[in-house]
Amino acid sequence: MKKIVYLAAVAALGFAAGCTKEASDIAPETGATFSITVSTPATKTVFDGATYDVAWADGDALGVYIVGGDEAGIYKFTKDSGKDNSFSTTDFTPVEGVEYTYYVLYPYDANFTVTEGKSSAVVKISASDAQSDLNVAGHIATPLYGTATAEGTAVPEIKLNHAASVMKINVANYSGAELAISKVGLLSIDESAVMAGTFSIDFATGELTASEVSNEAVVTLDAKTLANEASADFYVAVAPFATTADLSVVVNDDEFEKNGVSYDFNAGSVYKTAVTCGTPEVAVEVAGATSGALTQTLEDENVYANLLSISGEFDIAVQFGDSKYYLCPADATFQDGEAVKVSLKKTAETHWSLPEAEGEYRLVYNKLDGTLTIYSPENEFNDPYVMRFNYAFSTDRVLSRTVTSGEYYIYLNNGDDGWRARYPINFNTSLADPWILVMEEGKTFKVPAGGGFNVKLGWLLTHFIYEDKGTSGDDPENDDKGEGSANFTSRVAAFSPGREADVDLNPNVWMPMTPIVSNKRWKPSEAVTVSKLVIDIRNSRIFVGIAE
């Protein structure tokens, strides 16, 4: 990609977060390059959002800096009426036998000069353009540049390059009412991100040198509304840049976060993403060799999953409100355990295909990422987690428990040495991953100020499978399992911060977690009510949601 040299400080921009929202991946759109080649110095474009073609309009003008012989100056070339790629001027007459270098830049700037192949002109990639209506792209006229040499009166053939990329943002409205849209765009939390601004261009390398930059690029609209259960496209010019920082799609004053992903925007390419305002009713049906449905998972509203007995060829239909689409893969070849990018199509253009043998396949659809993952019955991903630990830290006595749906225990130990502080509660394993435990929906528990909690796998030996190595001689049925036994609680495995110390509770984000024999707890700074608890054993993390 073209490199941007960052010179100036960036103005920090902030927005208030909205309510229910989602955003799909930013991804390059297939075949969406929009570079052009001209036979005479030319520029100024009308961008077609359907075909990504570039067209010239009569009266378009460009700056051409010409160097050769005694010549070194800027000329204004204007498009010839009725000629697609012809631009001319009456101010410059080439001399036979002299080799000229032509530096072409759009938009025209009377102050355009070139020194050692680098322009001094200010090229603007606007942080805020005006889009006249829904689904139109005529406002996109990204800067173009190019250079070529020709001798005497020979017409130079100049390939123009785009200095910017384009973001196509689809906004779907499921708010239940008409949605007034005044602004759509892209925002980076990285204040040094160069997403728009003013630049000079190195004609040899395409490198941009930036000043007066912005970490936001948007289009604005005047009095435009989007009907309920309708969608529209918006086109935003974006400077070429790469970032690992969090990005957000902005609709009015709402931010639709896209976190934890690296983005690389290349000049001359169109990228696309989609956001949904509101929460449509979503149903994911599987039809073909057998029938079934994917269910929204408790831990993530964007993920739908299930174990289905299927084989052969089948289709997956997604119902968004009143609109029905099919999840179509680019390649329907079965890829066990690999996330496959899908496209939403009005018809089932491609079908999914599995091995002939019927079996319990786990299907996981992530509508935020736009992927479908299928796990075969033989895939190790489907195996339940078995936790084994040494009872009372003795290698002679081993306890184990298979982590499945069932009863677990919230261990508070608020001043009690024993299990009088225990709180039994049901957990379900996720349909998307058997190594994810989700607290029963609608359940809550309170953690008082100064207290803390972890999650115990059991509190009686009968909750576990006991393995006696034959050296201790102890009878597990008579071991400490009374209500007041502090000795026993120290011997029972838990999902905990670890063994070293209690850890401050950081709610509503993923925190590190360890399956371990430990009483260490997560401790809130004040009394809280926990309304959501998700334990992700596979990735050693825990999510604690707090009721308002």
Question: Could you state, in chain order, the average pLDDT of each consecutive group of 10 residues for the chain (548 residues)?
Answer: 36 27 53 38 50 70 89 87 77 89 87 84 74 81 84 83 85 84 87 83 85 85 86 88 78 74 75 78 75 85 87 85 80 86 83 81 85 90 89 76 92 60 86 94 90 88 73 46 42 87 91 91 94 94 90
| 298 shares its domain with 429 | no
Domain membership of residue 287 as a residue range: 282-377
CB count, 10 Å around CB of 94?
19
3-state DSSP: the chain helix, strand, coil percent, rounded to 5?
A: 5, 50, 45
| 251 shares its domain with 287 | no
| 272 shares its domain with 286 | no
Q: How many domains does the chain have?
A: 3
- Biggest alpha carbon–alpha carbon distance for the chain: 108
C-alpha atoms less than 13 angstroms from C-alpha of 3 in its C-beta half-sphere: 6
| 204 shares its domain with 235 | yes
What is the model's pLDDT at position 446? 92
Distance CA 63, CA 312 (A): 61
Residue bearing tokens 């909690």: 453
Distance CA 226, CA 1 (A): 35
What is the model's pLDDT at position 50? 63
Query: Using only C-alpha atoms, what is the Rg of the chain?
Result: 31
Structure tokens at 352: 């999914």
Residue bearing tokens 């935003």: 236
Q: Are 200 and 118 in contact (CB under 8 A)?
A: yes
| 148 shares its domain with 256 | yes
Distance CA 21, CA 317 (A): 22
C-alpha atoms less than 13 angstroms from C-alpha of 227 in its C-beta half-sphere: 2
| 448 shares its domain with 308 | no
Q: Are 11 and 201 in contact (CB under 8 A)?
A: no
| 361 shares its domain with 478 | no
What is the model's pLDDT at position 436? 94
Distance CA 40, CA 520 (A): 74
Residue bearing tokens 């395409």: 206
Of 377, 412, 447, the one marking the end of a domain is 377
Helix (H, G, I), strand (E, B) or coil at 392: helix
| 209 shares its domain with 343 | no
Of 356, 377, 398, the one marking the end of a domain is 377
363 vs 360, 374, 428, CA distance in Å? Answer: 10, 5, 18
What is the model's pLDDT at position 164? 85
What is the model's pLDDT at position 268? 80
What is the model's pLDDT at position 20? 39
| 289 shares its domain with 242 | no
Structure tokens at 506: 């950081």
154 vs 73, 94, 100, 150, 409, CA distance in Å? Answer: 19, 9, 10, 6, 85
Of 348, 377, 406, the one marking the end of a domain is 377
| 21 shares its domain with 90 | yes
Backbone angles phi, psi at 421, to 5 degrees: -90, 5
- The continuous run of DSSP H or E covering 151 comes out as strand 144-151
Nearest to 314 by CA among 331, 332, 296: 332
**Residue 309's domain is classified under what CATH number?**
2.60.40.3620
| 320 shares its domain with 401 | no
| 248 shares its domain with 338 | no
Q: Are 530 and 511 in contact (CB under 8 A)?
A: no
